[in-house]
Structure 1
Amino acid sequence: MIDAVDEKLRRRAEEDRLAADILEECRVQLMLKFRFLDLALWRMSLQPVRAGGAYPLATNGHIVALEALRVIARFNQSFNEVVRDYLHMVLHCIFRHPYNADHKDREAWNLTCDIIVESVAMDMCAGRFSSEDDTARKEALSKIRLMAGDMLPGKVYSLVHNMVQTPAGQQYRGLGRSTLNEWHALFERDEHAAWPAMGDTDNKSVENVPEKYSEDESSNNEQAASSIEELLNAEQLPESMREQMQDLESRGEDEGSEGGGEDNSAEAELAAEQMSYSHEDQGADPMGNFQDNEEREDDAKEWEEISKQIAMNLDTFSKEWGEETNSFMQNLALVNRKQYDYSEFLRQFMVQNEEILVNPDEFDYVYYTYGIDLYGNMPLIEPLEYKETDRIRDFVIAIDTSESVKGDLVRRFVQHTFDILKSSQDYATDVNIHVIQSDSRLQEDMVIRDMRDVDALMERFKVRGFGGTDFRPVFDYVQGMRDSGKLTDMRGLIYFTDGLGTFPDAPPDFDAAFVFVEDEAREIPAVPPWAIKLVVKEETL
């Protein structure tokens, strides 16, 4: 009985070592083809697991959890498949998919991430590390690109989300659940349950596990049981790995001939403990105990730095790589765009005012000491009736209502701005806010004197214009109000636009910020040196 346990533990340790060596060889091969991925390929340590997962690999951004039996089985199928599995997982981290929690429809977002990285991987490999399903993937990607418009995360997510939300038995633009299941099977290669963005939910991204990964555990064990012997004879096995496996095999035979006593049993058990751990002991998430929130934040920052470093390297040597990395660089540019907190940004336009408020931070020490002397333990405090505060009073919100700007987006931006103004104590109730609509000429100036009137005014708000775009009329109009004393406390102007217009030649004597909604399909236009550029996500409005 003890010999059987020893053999099982020894076998498991060998399988874990072999699976780890296979992945190390994948790293080396990817490094030889894509030198700019060096930091990303070795960023995570390998951790063999026995979790019974449906996929060979999983990651939380910190470690790679590998199912040894499935990795070996995939290697038996094709070494290229394991390489593509590993590249797929690393691209998720480079694009920071595991840390993106902005999308509520997790199935749609998970599938979107898989579609994007597989599309990028196919472009990068360009015939290298080919997969037997690549032809079917190309057909599916052509259909997705045709329906979504561009192979960009936001557009693909919108398509997939609408398909997921379509009631059962119905179709969205001729596509239904059967098409989604087909895409799941084609594009998924790793498990997403351990992604930090998934939180504590056990939300799987697929309803039906792809058939090629859905064998029961017994069949997987039978397939992997003969894998070591088969791999020793495989022509694609690297020589260094072959020698290591032969050494393991011969060492196992020597130990078996010695009778396998207690020392051998202890050694085998120790090796098994070092190379694997029990899924039951770790809970539902096999990697959940390896990180706390601070470590996850550190990992997210490190992946951000890696993404930026890769983008810089590719930008420097873009001619060397040609069109193979175009989609990769496009997705890198999207994920590396700097994001801003719009509510924090508005605080830049505060001015100092004196409010009729109790100021507990300042009081007269004469009364304080007099109370102590007179009553022993009762200080007298006379708080000041005035307090200096930073508030926004005079403010201008300019809206580009040209034909290229969506009317619904304009309304959402104005409403979002006022929601921030009303909810924060940093904004005064009595205000002098001008909401100016303009295309190539001034269309309307809506003045707000009391923040309590905003809701009533927004009900009557209508977008006017839809002509060309010229920013100069707004700046001339605002400068006229400043000269006439109507905007004496004004610190700045926020201009919501798509940027396709004529800017003033001379800088104004107040701060001006141009706010753009992030558009994956194009670069945000440049602004003059004297202006502030702010990019916000549409879903935050």
Structure 2
Amino acid sequence: MSGNREALTAAGEKIWNYTVTELSLALPFLRSAFFLLRPQLDLRIQNIGTDGSAVAYQPRYLLQCFVDNPRALRRTCFHLFLHCIFRHVYHVPAEGRENWDLAADVAVEYLADALDEDSLRETESDTRRVWYERFLTESRIMTAERIYRSLQGMKLSYDEREELRKTFWRCDHSLWKNPETKPPKTEEKSLPAEEKRWEDTAEHVEKMLLAAGKEAGKGAESFLRTLRVQGEARLSYGEILRRFAVAREVMEIDPDAFDYGFYYYGMEHYGNMPLIEENEYREERRIAALVIAIDTSASTQHGDVEQFFAETLGIFREEQAFFRDAEIHLIQCDEAVREDRRCHSLGELEAARDSLQLSGGGGTDFRPVFRYMEELQARGELTELRGLFYFTDGEGAFPREASPYQTVFVFPARDESVEERVPSWALKAYLEEKKA
């Protein structure tokens, strides 16, 4: 009996490794994800499934599918990896488990169809297309969370639920984590190591997609947009801020490092008595250059601007965010750049905030700020610019081309009709996430 199990295990590992190798060759931007799961034979499982740490498979299913329909097996494995990349496995809601399972399956199948990859392509049924159109009327971005909310509000018949399940189901969800008793905390600093591994992988995939651009292929834009929405759901201001930091030596005593020259000199000349001379320089990660743009169009509320400054400057203060010679630009813009206040420290930025008089009151166009940044950089300014915070209500014209620095559009509250117009290369943050 043990010999038979060993043979099935060996065959299963070969099939799994062959399948994920094919996927990694077809979709190189996802290569970092495809080798994170190790296969484990499990006679209790229906066909194949994962808990995020390993993939459990029923050997009869794996062998038969590999022989009869290897394309279907590739598609199922891809489906399973997407559940991990988007962390569906870890965020099962306390209510409506059946709706969550359906929503997660619809979300990953929509992305797989949108990619239009030859090795995964299947003939799209009329049933599938009708359901996609139905969910897209609720939201243009098909995340599991949004589909789940739609399903929670729908009164589906038993036949409709069965149709959904049969149309989109591919893998066993029984190994997914226990339902959450409360929503994820947006300010939580650390995740369980297993989930953190998938979050890091999602960030890496996002960078690969941005680097590949149009070469990533058809449907990559939908994939990138969904990754961004998924990540932003749990992204805090502090986490965004750390993306803007750069490493640089500062003139401060470093208690964790010392001069090895003096150390060895003491050891050699004073009989095992090292001389410890702390380094006068230490490497710090802080912000060297930052642009804060304020939408001063007629629709912008002064109270929202005050809240934006309170939250943003509060984080800067906590993080000791800036180098002493930082370049900070505080820009006001409606349909044109109205003012650029230049600061070099947090104190100067706070003083500028305190004396701020909003100027503008016209229409909204975000593009002049980005053109102005290009002009400044062409003149040799803002050479270390890593990020732009743009506070707005979102009602305006967005630039089409991605900026060479990270851009975060900050909104006073969530508004799906607005956020869907934000370019996929930009991040989104919301003041309402800090109010709770």
TM norm structure 2: 0.54
Equivalent of residue 229 in structure 2, options 310, 331, 334: 334
2-structure distance, mates of 1:534, 1:324 = 25
Spell out, residue by residue over 1:395-430, the C-alpha distance to the aligned partner (whole angstroms, 9 max, x if none).
xxxxx9x9899xxxx9xx9xxx9xxxxxxxxxxxxx
1:136 shift after superposition: 4.2
2-structure distance, mates of 1:36, 1:525 = 17
Spell out, residue by residue over 1:286-325, the C-alpha distance to the aligned partner (whole angstroms, 9 max, x if none).
xxxxxxxxx9700111111111111111101122123231
1-structure distance, mates of 2:425, 2:53 = 37
Q: Does 1:84 align with 2:75?
A: yes
Equivalent of residue 177 in structure 1, options 158, 163, 167: 158
Q: Does 1:10 align with 2:11?
A: no
Residue 305 (structure 1) aligns with: 200
CA gap 1:526/1:113 in 2 versus in 1, 3 angstroms = closer
Q: Is the 8 A contact 2:115 2:217 kept in 1?
A: no
CA RMSD of aligned residues (A): 4.5
1:63 shift after superposition: 0.9
Equivalent of residue 173 in structure 2, options 167, 176, 192: 192
List aligned pairs for 1:40-439, cutoff 5 A: 40-51=33-44, 53-54=45-46, 56-101=47-92, 104-131=95-122, 136-146=127-137, 148=139, 150-163=141-154, 166=155, 175-196=156-177, 198=179, 297-337=192-232, 339=234
1:135 shift after superposition: 5.7
Spell out, residue by residue over 1:228-283, the C-alpha distance to the aligned partner (whole angstroms, 9 max, x if none).
xxxxxxxxxxxxxxxxxxxxxxxxxxxxxxxxxxxxxxxxxxxxxxxxxxxxxxxx
Q: Is the 8 A contact 2:135 2:147 kept in 1?
A: yes
1:151 shift after superposition: 3.0
Question: Which has the larger helix fraction?
Answer: 1
Q: Is the 8 A contact 2:112 2:120 kept in 1?
A: no
Residue 396 (structure 1) aligns with: none
CA gap 1:11/1:159 in 2 versus in 1, 3 angstroms = same
2-structure distance, mates of 1:152, 1:23 = 27
Residue 432 (structure 1) aligns with: none
Q: Is the 8 A contact 2:228 2:424 kept in 1?
A: no
Letter in 2 for 1:161: Q
2-structure distance, mates of 1:316, 1:47 = 34
1:92 shift after superposition: 1.1
Q: Is the 8 A contact 2:49 2:175 kept in 1?
A: yes
CA gap 1:340/1:125 in 2 versus in 1, 3 angstroms = closer
Spell out, residue by residue over 1:155-208, the C-alpha distance to the aligned partner (whole angstroms, 9 max, x if none).
422221123xx3xxxxxxxx52311211111111112232235369xxxxxxxx
3-state SS in 1 of match to 2:219? helix
1:335 shift after superposition: 1.8
3-state SS in 2 of match to 1:82? helix
1-structure distance, mates of 2:431, 2:101 = 23
2-structure distance, mates of 1:79, 1:538 = 45
3-state SS in 2 of match to 1:98? coil
2-structure distance, mates of 1:110, 1:522 = 28
3-state SS in 1 of match to 2:33? helix
1:18 shift after superposition: 1.9
CA gap 1:190/1:124 in 2 versus in 1, 3 angstroms = same
Letter in 1 for 2:160: T
CA gap 1:133/1:539 in 2 versus in 1, 3 angstroms = farther
CA gap 1:540/1:342 in 2 versus in 1, 3 angstroms = farther
1-structure distance, mates of 2:423, 2:415 = 8
2-structure distance, mates of 1:15, 1:179 = 38
3-state SS in 2 of match to 1:516? coil
Larger Rg: 1
3-state SS in 2 of match to 1:46? strand
1:143 shift after superposition: 3.7
1:128 shift after superposition: 2.9
3-state SS in 1 of match to 2:23? helix
1-structure distance, mates of 2:356, 2:27 = 50
1-structure distance, mates of 2:15, 2:221 = 29
3-state SS in 1 of match to 2:49? strand
3-state SS in 1 of match to 2:412? strand
Residue 389 (structure 1) aligns with: none
Q: Is the 8 A contact 2:103 2:148 kept in 1?
A: yes
2-structure distance, mates of 1:76, 1:116 = 28
Q: Does 1:515 align with 2:425?
A: no
CA gap 1:22/1:536 in 2 versus in 1, 3 angstroms = farther
1:154 shift after superposition: 4.3
CA gap 1:180/1:44 in 2 versus in 1, 3 angstroms = same
Equivalent of residue 32 in structure 2, options 28, 32, 39: 39
Runs (5+) with no aligned partner, structure 2: 182-189, 239-295, 312-333, 335-352, 359-390, 398-409
2-structure distance, mates of 1:139, 1:539 = 38
Letter in 2 for 1:179: E
The structure showing larger relative contact order (alpha-carbon pairs under 8 Å, at least 6 residues apart) is 1
1-structure distance, mates of 2:87, 2:191 = 12
Q: How many pairs are equivalent?
A: 283
Residue 378 (structure 2) aligns with: none
3-state SS in 2 of match to 1:196? coil
Equivalent of residue 20 in structure 1, options 4, 10, 13: 13
CA gap 1:123/1:404 in 2 versus in 1, 3 angstroms = farther
1:34 shift after superposition: 0.6
CA gap 1:127/1:404 in 2 versus in 1, 3 angstroms = farther
3-state SS in 2 of match to 1:96? coil
Q: Is the 8 A contact 2:92 2:179 kept in 1?
A: yes
1:137 shift after superposition: 2.7
Spell out, residue by residue over 1:77-133, the C-alpha distance to the aligned partner (whole angstroms, 9 max, x if none).
411111111100101111122222566322222211110101111222444333467
Q: Identity across aligned pairs (percent)? A: 23
3-state SS in 2 of match to 1:198? coil
Q: Is the 8 A contact 1:27 1:42 kept in 2?
A: yes
2-structure distance, mates of 1:68, 1:147 = 40
Spell out, residue by residue over 1:362-403, the C-alpha distance to the aligned partner (whole angstroms, 9 max, x if none).
xxxxxxxxxxxxxxxxxxxxxxxxxxxxxxxxxxxxxx9x98
Residue 428 (structure 1) aligns with: none
1:145 shift after superposition: 2.6
2-structure distance, mates of 1:191, 1:79 = 18
1:146 shift after superposition: 4.1
3-state SS in 1 of match to 2:174? coil
